[in-house]
Structure 1
Amino acid sequence: MALGPRLDLRQTQSLVMTPQLQQAIKLLTLSNLEIEAFIGDALDANPLLEMGEAPPVEPVEIEARRTSLESSPCDQLIGEGMAAEDRPLDISAETLDVDRDTGDGGGDTPERYEPAFEGEATISGGGEAPAMEEYGAFDETLAEHLHGQIGAVVRDPKLAFIARFLIDQLDDAGYLAASLREIAMDLQVSPAEVEAALALVQSLDPTGVGARSLSECIALQAKEADRYDPAMARLIDNLEMIARGELPRLRRMCGVDEEDFADMLAELRGYDPKPGLRYGGGAAAPVVPDILISARADGGWNVALNQATLPKLILNRSYYLEMRGACAGKSAGKEDRGWLSEKLADANWLVKALDQRQKTILKVASELVRQQEGFFRHGVSQLRPLTLRAVAETVGLHESTVSRVTSNKYLMCERGTFELKYFFTSGVSGADGEGVSAEAVKAAIKQLIDNEDPKKILSDDTLVDLLKEKGFELARRTVAKYREAIGLGSSVQRRRQKALSGKR
């Protein structure tokens, strides 16, 4: 074989994702609030786009197992391997043609392109829907509450400065995790001054903030209630013995009889171990639903997007015509006309992509309500096992598209607000041979434990038998796993808890 450079011709096939297709896929994963921020950036980047008000929409009826909403174009391209042939634009310079001599839109009011949007869908079901509640109000944070008290009780500016610094070091529960020695070194003050500032913080409302441990937090509240006697002090200093269930030994250490000891435990339960949680953290955003489920008079359901958080993006036709007329002049070059055409294509694609995103979300949400109709009628006990593949096959989309649609989206119905991912649950076998949702099993376990006799705590073996009577075929270790997943202790732990709460 001769050594040397040569030219080879090869033909290969590959899936190419255009920037427009990548953007359409990204839009599917965003919530309505994230879409609003995305549109804000698009408005800054493209002068042909502007915000508009969504017109009223009429409900569109959907059959029990069929929908008239179109499939997502990005999903079709992915499935067919035709990403390179993506040409979704339906607005061109010809569709906006006017007299080139004037370059005028023909009026003062901008003419706007607004794609048709089927904003609602209806399916079979029943129940009444609640009115949309207000969202977004933030409570006063713990730090704000404490800072507001400092100015009213402190006259020494240095002491107030150290106290405010300590307040900013508190966690959400109101505890101080930082070392006083380190704080004194950081502020270049004496440890005694830091101790005085900490005592000041611990005197503020709510009682118990500024504590460095659970025992100190409870002790501060006992002192406030004038109940911090030697017996209570020993009880508070040995809280770990309560967790271990060593009540007889702890009673002897406190030197009280059974009646006094029971009163001390009852008083201990009245204290707040995390006083800071009464106030908001200030950083968590409210959960705003993207989809609203409401009832129809004929016993069906309305599935609609939340128009209150869904921005409407439109194309300013008059401004485009004005700019095209300016670019048609002799002074404008090919680069200017190319820039305008690019902005028109981007604006048209984004408007259509947002419109298709809304249709795809409605399509998937409608199918979720169909599949989980028992949940919307009767609650979590009727939640069925459901997979992404099952929904994808029914609505004619790719499984990855359904996964993107259900990410970061929330649904609001009369039973509350739920993430769409909540409706996809694993299942266990039922007595009738049909699958049962794991969430329904957890709900049944919780109901049995909540209703158990304090004198006869249910063991996991007993729960297995009771669940079998309800139609759930479960092994003992599966019951234990579900019980721990919902935060319920074993029979021994529950017996101790109910003994402490006086349910003997």
Structure 2
Amino acid sequence: MALSAKLQFRQTQSLVMTPQLLQSIRLLQYSHLELQAFVDTEMERNPLLAYSSGDRAAGSEAGAEIGAKPSVAALSDCGRPEQPAKSGAGGSEPAAIRTRTASGGGSGRAHSGDGEFRIEEIAERRPSLHAHALAEVADAIPPGPRRKIAEAMVEHLDESGYLRLTLPQIASDLSIKPELAERVLAHLQAEATPAGLFARDLSECLAIQLKRQDRYDPVVAMVLDHLDLLARRDFAELRRLTGEDDSGLMDILTEIRGLDPKPGHAFDHDGFEAIVPDVIVTESAEGGWRVELNPDALPRVLVDNDYLRIVREGVRTDDDRAFLGECQQSANWLVRSLDQRAKTILKVASEIVRRQDGFLTRGVGGLKPMTLMSVAEAIGMHESTVSRVTSTKYIATPRGTFEMRFFFTVAIASADGGDAHSAESVKHRIKILIDAESAGKVMSDDDIAAVLKKEGVDLARRTVAKYREALGIPSSIQRRREMNARRLAS
């Protein structure tokens, strides 16, 4: 059989992710801060983009930065957009992204667009842990090499106020003797406030505080060395180690409970950001719930058509004309994409609120099982789109602010063949049962499973144990020991 070269035409279909589509997907899953950073970057690259005149402080600042528009001659020197649209933007473009209401009448939450605020809304800011620790070092240690060592230790404090780098490591980094680092640390632990700052672990933190109160003795030291036994309420072993009776151990336990295990938490920490909800749910005056987008989480961007007209009149070269067209296409695409993103978030949030009306009216006990697939089918979207929308997005409700993913829980079958139960509502019911326990009536996991089954929740004992551990609730044995300890201490 002879081999020969041939030319053949074939027609195939394939799914292609264009750069424009890929960027739209990224926009959809961006959090509020990530989206704001992306828009700010695009506005620096594209001179045709501007914040709407009604935007808030962030928009005003950005507008000030881009207020001086580049001249026609400087247009060709501007960086080109990273993802320009490949086709022209047909039709009229929305002037800005606006808040859209999902459900009927009633007055929603009022948002002033003029940037005004009330003086009572400004809280006094606490000093940062870093600044406070440096001030304590300056008060405790005079200027010199020892203060430099102490300041280096400040840099290794964690949020709880603990020193998380070992002394040999600090000594090695600073090229000093470990004994000198030990002396400096001991001085800081004895002088710094609040007591417990610069401790290396929980036991040392509590010991520092008890020493300041002149309540540190060998018996207390033995208890602090065996905090694991104290946590398990294993008083039999503690009695053997310390020689104390139950009354003495209860006194020590009472003192330890009055201490601060995390002294650094009294201060502000850099890097914490307040959660800005993407959607706000309020009770409608006509009944039901009003769902609206939070204007503070929406970068309101528009295409500066006045500037575009001025620049277009002065364009002389083909390169400038081509670049201006790319900037216009990119700007129109971004405005459309932001508007579509807002519509998609609102559509998903409205469906979540419709399905979880029981949670909004009755709390966690009214939470219903819900999956991404069920929401996607109800609103006519793909499951992956709903997944991106609910990632790192938050809903502010009358019951608090929750991540959208919170409302998606697995279904637990009903024992009597009725509607399925949400896993979160079952966890809530387990917590209520345990909170209602008394000293002589501590429920085991089997007991809890039996009670739930009578209430129509078909749950195995091992699943009860898994949910209990997820809630951070100890076993029935540990809870019984804790109640006995409280009884002896009272």
Are 2:148 and 1:164 equivalent residues in the alignment? Answer: no
- Quote the offset at 1:286 in angstroms: 2.0
Note the alpha carbon deviations across 1:139-193, whole angstroms, 9 max, x for none: 5332222112222232142111111111212222222233323322321223332
Distance 1:365 1:270 in 2: 44
Which residue of the other structure, out of 289, 297, 321, is the alignment partner of 1:301?
A: 289
Say which is worse superposed, 359-368 or 242-251, in terms of deviation.
242-251
- Quote the offset at 1:243 in angstroms: 3.6
Distance 2:408 2:86 in 1: 32
Query: Aligned AA for 1:364?
Result: V
Alignment CA distance shift 1:138-1:441 (3 Å): farther
- Scaled by the length of structure 1, the TM-score of the pair is 0.82
Q: Could you say which residue in structure 1 is the equivalent of 2:201?
A: 213
Note the alpha carbon deviations across 1:288-347, whole angstroms, 9 max, x for none: 1111111111122111111023121111111111222122xxxx2322222221211111
Q: Could you say which residue in structure 2 is the equivalent of 1:70?
A: none
Note the alpha carbon deviations across 1:250-297, whole angstroms, 9 max, x for none: 224433343222211211222223322333332232211111111111
Which residue of the other structure, out of 356, 368, 375, is the alignment partner of 1:391?
A: 375
Are 2:482 and 1:482 equivalent residues in the alignment? Answer: no
Whether contact under 8 Å (2:27, 2:35) holds in the other structure is: yes
Are 2:136 and 1:146 equivalent residues in the alignment? Answer: no
Alignment CA distance shift 1:115-1:227 (3 Å): closer
- Quote the offset at 1:491 in angstroms: 0.4
Are 2:30 and 1:30 equivalent residues in the alignment? Answer: yes
Distance 2:299 2:110 in 1: 23
Are 2:163 and 1:176 equivalent residues in the alignment? Answer: yes
Report the 3-state secondary structure (helix = DSSP H, G, I; strand = E; otherwise coil) of the residue aligned with 2:281: strand
RMSD: 2.9
Report the 3-state secondary structure (helix = DSSP H, G, I; strand = E; otherwise coil) of the residue aligned with 1:169: coil
Q: Could you say which residue in structure 2 is the equivalent of 1:226?
A: 214
Query: Aligned AA for 1:287?
Result: I
Note the alpha carbon deviations across 1:355-397, whole angstroms, 9 max, x for none: 1111111111001000101001111111000011111111111
Query: Aligned AA for 1:201?
Result: L
Which residue of the other structure, out of 186, 204, 212, is the alignment partner of 1:199?
A: 186
Q: Could you say which residue in structure 1 is the equivalent of 2:440?
A: 455
Q: Could you say which residue in structure 1 is the equivalent of 2:73?
A: none
Q: Could you say which residue in structure 2 is the equivalent of 1:465?
A: 450
Note the alpha carbon deviations across 1:65-97, whole angstroms, 9 max, x for none: xxxxxxxxxxxxxxxxxxxx9968235xxx8xx
Identity %: 43
Alignment CA distance shift 1:303-1:229 (3 Å): same
Q: Could you say which residue in structure 1 is the equivalent of 2:60?
A: none
Q: Could you say which residue in structure 1 is the equivalent of 2:271?
A: 283
- Quote the offset at 1:117 in angstroms: 4.4
Which residue of the other structure, out of 373, 390, 404, is the alignment partner of 1:406?
A: 390
Distance 2:386 2:239 in 1: 59
Alignment CA distance shift 1:227-1:118 (3 Å): closer
Higher relative contact order, chain-length normalized (CA < 8 Å, sep 6+): 1
| 1:224-303 superposed matches below 5 A | 224-303=212-291
Are 2:332 and 1:352 equivalent residues in the alignment? Answer: no
Whether contact under 8 Å (1:291, 1:305) holds in the other structure is: yes
Whether contact under 8 Å (2:189, 2:199) holds in the other structure is: yes
Distance 2:392 2:122 in 1: 17
Q: Could you say which residue in structure 2 is the equivalent of 1:433?
A: 418
Say which is worse superposed, 465-474 or 300-309, in terms of deviation.
465-474
Distance 1:356 1:198 in 2: 57
Whether contact under 8 Å (2:96, 2:300) holds in the other structure is: no
Are 2:366 and 1:382 equivalent residues in the alignment? Answer: yes
Distance 2:367 2:87 in 1: 41
Whether contact under 8 Å (2:161, 2:265) holds in the other structure is: yes
Whether contact under 8 Å (1:130, 1:294) holds in the other structure is: no
| 1:47-196 superposed matches below 5 A | 47-54=47-54, 89-91=89-91, 114=95, 117=98, 119-122=100-103, 139-196=126-183
Q: Could you say which residue in structure 2 is the equivalent of 1:313?
A: 301
Whether contact under 8 Å (2:247, 2:488) holds in the other structure is: no
Whether contact under 8 Å (1:135, 1:286) holds in the other structure is: no
Q: Could you say which residue in structure 1 is the equivalent of 2:72?
A: none
Report the 3-state secondary structure (helix = DSSP H, G, I; strand = E; otherwise coil) of the residue aligned with 2:342: helix
Distance 2:108 2:441 in 1: 40
- Quote the offset at 1:115 in angstroms: 5.2
Distance 1:197 1:8 in 2: 82
- Quote the offset at 1:456 in angstroms: 1.6
Alignment CA distance shift 1:260-1:130 (3 Å): farther
Distance 1:129 1:429 in 2: 38
Alignment CA distance shift 1:140-1:90 (3 Å): farther
Alignment CA distance shift 1:192-1:17 (3 Å): closer
Alignment CA distance shift 1:19-1:238 (3 Å): closer
Whether contact under 8 Å (1:176, 1:211) holds in the other structure is: yes
Distance 1:423 1:197 in 2: 51
Are 2:5 and 1:21 equivalent residues in the alignment? Answer: no
Distance 2:450 2:480 in 1: 20
Distance 1:491 1:391 in 2: 39
Query: Aligned AA for 2:26?
Result: K
Q: Could you say which residue in structure 2 is the equivalent of 1:491?
A: 476
Distance 1:419 1:314 in 2: 29
Whether contact under 8 Å (1:208, 1:221) holds in the other structure is: yes
Distance 1:232 1:127 in 2: 60
Distance 1:49 1:220 in 2: 58
Distance 1:87 1:390 in 2: 35
Query: Aligned AA for 1:372?
Result: Q
Alignment CA distance shift 1:9-1:451 (3 Å): same
Alignment CA distance shift 1:425-1:323 (3 Å): same
Report the 3-state secondary structure (helix = DSSP H, G, I; strand = E; otherwise coil) of the residue aligned with 1:21: helix
Whether contact under 8 Å (1:266, 1:501) holds in the other structure is: no
Alignment CA distance shift 1:51-1:117 (3 Å): closer
- Scaled by the length of structure 2, the TM-score of the pair is 0.85
